[in-house]
Structure 1
Amino acid sequence: MLAGEAGGVSLPRLCKRLGVRMSVLLRELAWIGEETIGEHPGPGWVRVEAHGDSSVAVLTERGRERFVQHRP
């Protein structure tokens, strides 16, 4: 979903499109993001950025590379 949105997608919009609650989305983004969880660094595929009053999920360059490699 993020691959087609160069400027990213707002978190509420992602929740609506995916049909999940914000808490679920934030856990998933943490899992594939840039932050370290415990002793394990994240893969860095997605970054959450502040754009004014909203938070936006953006696919990183590493995430785009991963998407291209695993596209059907």
Structure 2
Amino acid sequence: MGEDRTLLILCTAFRGKNDRWPRLTVKKIPKAVLDKCEWGHDDYSLKVENLPKAAKKPKQVTLFDVEGEGT
């Protein structure tokens, strides 16, 4: 890590002194967060669906467009 960077580590438990490395922050993950996690899965694939195409945006004109030419 560079002098202007820090690192945050979240874990279920840790031993050691936090002040040994000034740019390293170690925090325990709250139980409320751990209870919402899913454990023991081999595959965390997301369900992907084909979404409808977005509507076309109206033509935009800027102050710098030449008359008859738009973006």
TM-score of the two chains, using structure 2 as the length reference: 0.23
| Structure of greater relative contact order (alpha carbons < 8 Å, 6+ residues apart) | 1
Larger Rg: 2
TM-score of the two chains, using structure 1 as the length reference: 0.23
Higher strand residue share:
1
Higher helix residue share:
1
